[in-house]
Amino acid sequence: MAKQKKGIKPTLIWNSNWEYSPAPESAKPAAIAKKYELFIDGKWQQPVEKGYFKTINPATEEVLSDVATASKKDVDKAVTAARNAYEKYWRKLSGAERGKYIFRIARIMQERARELAITETLDGGKPIKESRDFDIPTAANHFFYYAGWADKLAYAFPNQKVSSLGVAGQITPWNFPLLMAAWKIAPALATGNTVVLKPAETTPLTTLKLAEIIQEADLPPGVVNIITGSGETGVMLTQHPNINKIAFTGSTEVGKLIQATLAGTSKKLTLELGGKGANIIFEDAPIDQAVEGVINGIFFNQGHVCCAGSRLYVQESIAKTFIAKLKDRLATLRVGDPMDKNTDIGAINSFQQLKSIQSYIEIGKKEGASFYQSKCKIPNQGYFCPPILFSNVAQSSRIAQEEIFGPVLCILTFRTEDEVIEKANNTPYGLSAGVWTDKGARIFNLTKRLRAGVIWANTYNLFDPVSPFGGYKESGFGREGGLHGLYPYVQLS
C-alpha cells in the first residue's frame, strides 16, 4: 500500500524474504601446516627450548597450528643472524639489487594472494572479503612501493648522506597481521637494514607464510628473521643489545614500557599505538556518505583499528536524523562466519579481547549512555560481538576516553566549530580524525587545528603505501608509508 496509516511512523523493513544463502570460501587453499618452527638465518629452526603454543580460529575455536615459542637463546640467534647478514652482505648490496629482491617478494605475495587471504581470515577472524580485497593487496603494494625507494634514497634527504641503521627489531599486532608486517619489513629492507620480527601471539600464520615467500624469493639468509612467541619474546627482543632500532605497533600501555626499556640505550624507536579517533559530522555534511564513513570508521575490522573513528561528534542540529540513519545502516550489517563472503563483521580476535569489549559495554551502560545494539544474529560458537551504538555520551565518560578496540561507537553532540575542535583534541591520543562538511574552507580550518597524525576529510579509513601514517601524542611517533616512512630507518649525516 502506498501510504502508511496516520499516526504510525514510517519504518523500513529489514528482514527480507530474500536472504543471502551461505557463500563460504573454501579453507583448503590456505595450506596451513600442523606445526611451524622459527625462521632464522634463512632456515626453519626448532626453538632451543622446545616450546610450542597453539594458534586458534576465533570464529570456531578450533586449533589451526602449533607455533614455536622463541626463548632468549632463540632471540639471540635471530639477532645474530640478522647482524651477520647485515655486516657481511646486505649493507654492501647496491640499492638497485636490494630493490629487486623486494619486488620479488611483492610479486610472489600477489601470486599467493588467495592462500594468504584465507589464512589471515582463519587465524584472526576478519571477514574474507576484507582479507581478500584490503589486507593482502595493500600488503603486497607496500613491498612494491618501498622496493622502488631502495636505489633512490639520495633523493629523499636533500643534502644528507644516507646510511642504514643495522638490525631492526620489530613487533607487530594482531589486527592486520600481514599488513603490519609489510609496513615494518618493506621500508627496513629498502633502506638497507636487516630485520628480526615478532608477530602477535594470536595471529602468527600469515607472517610465517611471508617467511616462506621470503625463502622463495631467495632473499639472502638472515636478512629477515621471524620469531614467534608471546609478549615475553617481544620484550626480550627490545632488550637485546645488538639491535639498532625498535619498531612497535600495539597498545599505548606496552608502548610506554618499551620506551622506558630503551632509555639509556642508543636504540632508535618508533611507536604506533592506540587511538580514540574523533569522526566529526557538520550539518552541511553529505549525510548518506557520512553515515557510510562513520560505519566504515568503527565497524571495519570489527573495530580492531587503532585509527578507528570511535568517537562520533555530530552537530546537534542533525543528530536525530543522523543517528536514525546509522541505525538503518546497522540493520544491514552482517555479523558471522568470517569465511562467508557476505560477512561484514567477523569474529573478535580473542576471548580476552571479547571480554575487554564486554566490560566496556557494561561501563557504558553504568555511565548512563543510551545503548543500542544491532538486531543481527550472532553465531553460537566463537567470539562475536554485534555492532553497538552508545548515544548521549559525555566527554567525561570512560567510554569516550578509553580505547575499546571493538565494534562500539560512542556518539556525542556539538554545537560550534571551536567546541568540536577543542573536544576532539581533548584526549591524550592523537592518531586520527574525520571531518565531514561540504565547505572546503572549513575542511582546511579543521585539518589545520586538529591534533592528529591522519585526518580524513569526507572519507575515512583510507590507506595507501604512499601516504604517511602515524600519531601525535600518546598515539606514538614516527611515520609509516610514503617518503616520511623512510626516516625511521636511516641515519642522516
* Residues 428, 231: Cα–Cα separation, whole Å: 24
d(Cα 372, Cα 377) in Å, to the nearest integer? Answer: 15
Q: How far is the CB of 355 from other proteins (least distance, A)?
A: 31
Please say which residue, 349 or 437, places its beta carbon nearer to other proteins: 437
Q: Which of 75, 76, 79, 45 is nearest to 222 (CA)?
A: 79
Closest contact distance (angstroms) between CB of 468 and other proteins is 9
CA distance 435 to 371: 25
Report the residue number, 193 or 437, with the smaller CB distance to other proteins.
437
Query: Distance (Å, rounded) from C-alpha 126 to C-alpha 58?
Result: 9
Residue type, 406: G
Query: Of the two residues 104 and 198, which places its CB atom closer to other proteins in the complex?
Result: 104
Minimum gap (Å) between residue 247 Cβ and other proteins: 21
Closer Cβ to other proteins, 84 or 425, answer by number: 425
Of 19 and 362, CB closest to other proteins: 19
**Residue 314 in contact with residue 290, Cβ under 8 Å?**
no
- Report residue 207: phi and psi, to 5°: -65, -35
Give ∠ CA 131-132-134 in degrees, rounded to 5.
65
Instruction: Tell me how long the chain is.
Output: 493
Cα separation, 479 vs 477, whole angstroms: 7
Shortest Å, Cβ 275 to other proteins: 18
| Backbone dihedral region for residue 272 (phi beyond 0: left; psi -120 to 50: alpha; all else: beta) | beta
CA angle 134, 137, 138 (to 5 degrees): 70
Closest approach of other proteins to the CB of residue 296, in Å: 9
Element (H, E) at 205: helix 205-216
Whichever of 118 and 450 has its CB closer to other proteins, that residue is: 450
* Cα torsion angle, 197, 200, 204, 210, sign: negative
Is residue 46 helix, strand or coil?
coil
Q: How far is the CB of 385 from other proteins (least distance, A)?
A: 21
DSSP label at 403?
A: -
| Rounded least distance, CB 293 to other proteins, Å | 7
- Judged by beta carbon, residue 51 or residue 95, the one nearer other proteins is 95
User: Based on CB atoms, which residue is closest to other proteins, 42 or 338?
Assistant: 338
* β-strands 52-56, 63-68 pairing: antiparallel
Say which of 272, 403, 474, 480 is annotated catalytic: 272
Q: How far is the CB of 336 from other proteins (least distance, A)?
A: 13
Backbone angles phi, psi at 460, to 5 degrees: -160, 155
> Where would I find the H helices in 313-439?
316-330, 351-366, 398-401, 417-425
CB distance 483 to 468 below 8 Å: yes
For the question of residue 272 being annotated catalytic, the response is yes
Q: Which three cell numbers stand for residue 467?
A: 601516504
**Cβ-proximal residues to 155 (8 Å cutoff; 6+ apart), any chain:** none
Q: Which helix (H) or strand (E) holds 138?
A: helix 136-149
> Active site residue: 37, 201, 306, 480, which one?
306
Catalogue the active-site residues: 272, 306
